[in-house]
Amino acid sequence: MSPIEEVILNKNVNINPIWIMRQAGRYLPEFRKIRKENPDFIKLCLNEKLSTELTLQPLIRYDLDAAIIFSDILMLPYGLNQKIEFIKGTGPILGNINLENISKLTESDFIKKVNPVYKLINLVKNNKITKNKTTIGFVGAPWTLLVYMLNQESPKSGLKKDFFGDENLINNILAIIERFLKIHIKHQINSGAQIIQIFDSWAGLLEEKDLPNYIYKPTSNLAEYIKSFNVPVICFPRNIKNYKEYCDVVNPSVICIDYNTDPKQISRNINIPVQGGMDPKILLTDKENLKKEVNERNSIRY
């Protein structure tokens, strides 16, 4: 059993497994080299040979406890035939939604488009580098995917004024998202993913009154589905404001907190394993300060 599974499944608080939310990425020169040669991000994610290499790069350098697949939460709208383009300095730009066409898509249609993701997971899981490591797959949460699919771009400047204008459209899209997320999750697990993480990057956009409909209910449905495979689920509801209520309702195996959250407060209110909470800007400070910040968090028993 890997250190991460030991903590999650056996509740062992005497070890601190280490993995980083975005393990493969710009801090690695070997990543930057491949990325420069492959400017189309979606095509890179769907190249199982290169995405496997990118997944394993951090583990070759560091003794981390997990391999996090190199993919993207927007594989779901891509698999639903919504056009996606990543613009440097802007982020993802998505095309219009054709609800009629999306409604006609079958599981086999979806799998045909995103199948390289499952090949990647299988290659990672069976690589000698990942022996005694945990393979982590992931999906976007229904709310965050709805945001990208309807807003058609990152909502850093806020949602479009008419975002909530068509309630029927929203409900139909959410139902489609949940259906295909379950398909995506099932195939990740069948390919070798030992944990699934749900990223709700834009959870902080919602008012408290809207959390049950857009976050609590759809995300708890997914968490329950993942657990039906005897697979743990990590949830990251960024800026959710009330992590305790989220954990009580959604019931994840692990909660991932953002760096605006006080880890000491979390330790008093939440009794499941906690990941995250350190501002990445700390990595840009000196070595002594970095040690201090890490040791401070390491001393907190959640």
Domains of the chain in start order, with CATH, are 3-298 (3.20.20.210)
pTM: 0.95
Residue 249 buriedness (CB in 10 A; 0-12 / 13-18 / 19+): middle
How many Cα atoms occupy the beta-carbon half-sphere of 99 within 13 Å?
12
Higher pLDDT, 273 or 114: 114
Mean pLDDT value of segment 275-299:
85
Give the strands of the sheet with 233-237, arranged side by side.
66-68, 134-140, 195-200, 233-237, 254-257, 274-276
Report helix, strand or coil for 140.
Answer: strand
Cβ atoms of 301 and 273 within 8 Å: the answer is no
Residue 14 has a pLDDT of 83
Higher pLDDT, 41 or 294: 41
Over residues 209-268, the pLDDT tens digits come to: 999 999 999 999 999 999 999 999 999 999 998 999 999 999 999 999 998 888 778 878
Q: Give how far the C-alpha of residue 251 lies from the chain's centroid of Cα atoms, to the nearest Å.
A: 17
Mean pLDDT value of segment 94-98:
94
State the average pLDDT for the chain.
93
Indicate the residue type of 82: Q
Over residues 77-93, the pLDDT tens digits come to: 999 999 999 988 788 99
Kindly tell me if the per-residue pLDDT of 194 is higher than 70: yes
Cβ atoms of 74 and 140 within 8 Å: the answer is yes
Kindly tell me if the per-residue pLDDT of 302 is higher than 70: no
Residue 163 buriedness (CB in 10 A; 0-12 / 13-18 / 19+): middle
Higher pLDDT, 264 or 131: 131
